[in-house]
C-alpha cells in the first residue's frame, strides 16, 4: 500500500504494526510529509513519514473491529490483535458473557 492508497484523514482507524505486534490506532495528524498515528491502547503517538507507509505495518481497520461483534468469527479483521481488541472493547462496554454448548 503506497501512501496514496488510502485517503489519510484525521480519525481514520487503522492497525499499526510495531515491534512485532498490531496496535489499534487512529490517524491523529496529517501533514504533507508525515502522518501521525495514536495508539488506542496507551495514547502514544507515532509520526511516520508518508514515503514509508506500507501494508507491512499498516492496514485499515474493518468496521466490525471498530463496532465490536458478539461472534469473533464475524470480525472482518480476523487476527490475534483484532480478537484481543474486540474482547477488551466488549469488557469496557460490560458485554462480557460465556455461553457453553454443553448440555
**Whether residue 85 has pLDDT greater than 50:** yes
Higher pLDDT, 11 or 97: 11
Query: How much is the pLDDT for 20?
Result: 87
Q: pLDDT band at 28, cuts 50/70/90?
A: very high
Residue with cell 492508497: 5
Find cell 488506542 and name the residue: 40
Q: Which one is predicted more confidently, 6 or 34?
A: 34
By residue count, the chain amounts to 103
The residue among 14 and 19 whose pLDDT is bigger is 14
**Termini Cα distance of the chain:** 48
Helix then strand then coil, in percent of the chain rounded to 5, is 25, 30, 50
Instruction: Specify the CATH number of the domain 13-92.
Output: 2.30.30
Amino acid at each position: 500500500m503506497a501512501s496514496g492508497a488510502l485517503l489519510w484523514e484525521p480519525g481514520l482507524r487503522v492497525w499499526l504494526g510495531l515491534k512485532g505486534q498490531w496496535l489499534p490506532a487512529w490517524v491523529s495528524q496529517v501533514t504533507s510529509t508525515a502522518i501521525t498515528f495514536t495508539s488506542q491502547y496507551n495514547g502514544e503517538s507515532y509520526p511516520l513519514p508518508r514515503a514509508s507507509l506500507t501494508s507491512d505495518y499498516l492496514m485499515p481497520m474493518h468496521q466490525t473491529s471498530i463496532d465490536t461483534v458478539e461472534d469473533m468469527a464475524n470480525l472482518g479483521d480476523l487476527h490475534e490483535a483484532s480478537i484481543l481488541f474486540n474482547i477488551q472493547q466488549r469488557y469496557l462496554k460490560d458485554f462480557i458473557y460465556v455461553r457453553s454448548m454443553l448440555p
